[in-house]
Each structure stands twice: as C-alpha cells, then as structure tokens.
Amino acid sequence: MKIWIALLLATFAVGVSAQDQCICDSFKWATCDGPPCQCSVTVGTGEKQNLDCSKLIPKCFLMKAEMFRARHGLSTRTGGKPVDTAFVDNDGIYDPDCDATGAFRAKQCNNTEVCWCVNSAGVRRTDKGDKSLRCEKLVETYWVRLELKHKAVNNAVDAAKLQDAVATAIQNRYSFDKTLVKEVQYDPKARLIVVDVQKEKGDRKADLSRMAYYMEKDVKVLPLFKDQAKFEPSVDGQKLEMENILVYYVDEEAPTFTMKRLTGGVIAVIVVVMLAVAAGLLVLFLKRRREQRYSKAEPRELEAM
C-alpha cells in the first residue's frame, strides 16, 4: 500500500516538474505561461507573437522581436560571392511584416513610406521605392554561403574532416538536415571556412534563413537559444571557435538591384569613349575644313592662271 502511494506521489511529482519545463529552448527572449504551456515574445509595437519553441523560430518573428527590443533600449544585434548574383545583407535589421506562419511578406516598408522587396531570408533584393512598389511574390533563397573565420588553434586542422565536422555541428545545434551542407572549403592561412548550404530549387521545406540567422547570432556571441553554447565544430577532438561570419544569399531568381558598384567603372568607360569620339570628330572636322579651303582655292588658282 505504501509503495502504491509512493508511486502515485512520484508520478504526480514527475507531472509537476514536466509542467515546470514550460520554457523556450529555441529563443531566450520568449516568455512562457501555462498550462497549457504557450510561449510568446513581444514584437513590433508591443503585440504578442505566439511561438512554437520545439523548432527554430522563423527569422521574420526573430527580427520583429529584435526591433521591439531595440526600440525599448534592450540588448540586440549588430569573403567572396559564390555566384555573381549572390548578395549580402547591407541594410541590417528592420521591423518586418510576417505572415501567420512566420514567413516574410514579399514587400517590406519598415513602417515608413520607403519600401523594397525581400527574399525568403528577409534580405532586400530590389532597389528601394515608394509605397506603390510591387513585389509579385516572395522569392526563395535556396543557397547560402557562410564565410566563417575561426580563432587560432594549436594544431593544424585536417581539411578533409572539416566538411563532416561542420555539417554535424550544424545538424546538432540547429536541428538542420546535414545533407544540405554541400561543400566546405578551407583556407588555413586566413583561418577561413566557406560553407555552402544548398537545397533543390523548388524545395519549400528546409528553411535556410533560420539556420543561417541562428548561426550568425551564435558567432556574434549573441545566441538566440536559451543555452549560451557556441557553434563549435570539432575536428580530431579540437574545437573550432568562430570569430567572424559573413552570409551570402543566392535566390531562385536573380535580384534586381541596379549595379551600384559597377557605376563608377561604367561612367569612366563612358567618359573615355565620349572623349575619343569627340577627338575623332574634331580631327575629321579640321581635316574637312582644310580640304574645303584647298578645293575653294584650287579654282581661283586656276582662274588666275
């Protein structure tokens, strides 16, 4: 009889402690209440966004939460291109419009009159326009290149083992399918690890933007997880701590920025060509005039004779 009571009490205790576990592992700024356990975060101008803490939180919700924190003075955020059409996030954070699932809306205005179109990672992929700007659809980012610089280590890193080490670390920390880690290049001198994470075009299941964002925060020592662990691939028992990260985005469709960086060069070329043409025309004009003078002079000379 005593054993039964003890068992009953034990199960009851387990039940209670399970309810005490109403915490959000995947987002440290979330608050949770229950039962039933529901986690949420304050976003935008003070609304509550409910969260599913059993997974990584959509980047769009994360950015909204950060904007709220930034507005309220709470703590927050701060290579080479894989292909020509790849681009980086030069704008930084804004207060995004998310749909109910946490996906970015294609058009973003940051609560202002200035709008632009974003990809599925919420990164601007067009020039900025006014409120009338049209963004046909949300273009998917199917490839991200993560340029990671690791801190100095004592022993040389075996490049051949690096890909699996990085893929495993990504899978473990971000519950992300490691088979999407397609290529890892290593430059020991620069301590640079270039990681290409790529899914099939048309794949709408894997979300590269979440994984990349959580990693960015980990490397910048501002982890979003409750636990303050690091993204630290381990090669031959040696842990590689990261000190820097740069993310390139490649979308299923090329972005439509006007080529701002090219303009300097293009203008120089145009100026040179125009100067050459002007010089050529001047030479032609002078030659013509001289020829005309001769042809006018000739008849007179003949008459005089």
Closer residue to ligand NAG, CB minimum distance, 24 or 121: 121
Host H or E run for residue 174: helix 159-174
Least separation in angstroms between CB 130 and ligand NAG:
14
Least separation in angstroms between CB 87 and ligand NAG:
14
Q: Using an 8 Å Cβ cutoff, are 207 and 58 in contact?
A: yes
Closer residue to ligand NAG, CB minimum distance, 91 or 252: 91
Contacts of 49 (CB under 8 A, 6+ apart): 40, 41, 42, 43, 61, 64, 65
Backbone φ, ψ for residue 202 (5° rounding)? 100, -20
Backbone φ, ψ for residue 69 (5° rounding)? -65, -40
Least separation in angstroms between CB 265 and ligand NAG:
27
What are the structure tokens assigned to 17, written together? Answer: 């402690």
Residue 169: count other Cβ atoms within 10 Å of its Cβ: 21
Q: How many residues does the chain have?
A: 305
Least separation in angstroms between CB 77 and ligand NAG:
11
Closer residue to ligand NAG, CB minimum distance, 76 or 171: 76
Closer residue to ligand NAG, CB minimum distance, 110 or 238: 110
Least separation in angstroms between CB 42 and ligand NAG:
16
Contacts of 117 (CB under 8 A, 6+ apart): 106, 107, 108, 124, 125, 126, 133, 135, 139
Closer residue to ligand NAG, CB minimum distance, 77 or 178: 77
Q: Given the rule CB under 6 A, which residues bind ligand NAG?
A: 91-92, 94, 110
Least separation in angstroms between CB 70 and ligand NAG:
7
Residue 130: count other Cβ atoms within 10 Å of its Cβ: 10
Closer residue to ligand NAG, CB minimum distance, 17 or 132: 132
Q: Which residue has the tokens 């662990």?
A: 229
What span, in angstroms and rounded, lies between the C-alpha atoms of 104 and 107? 8
Least separation in angstroms between CB 46 and ligand NAG:
14
| Residue of 86, 130, 106 whose CA lies nearest to 253 | 86
**Which DSSP string corresponds to 109-129?**
-TTSS-BEEBBTT--B-S--B
Closer residue to ligand NAG, CB minimum distance, 82 or 96: 96
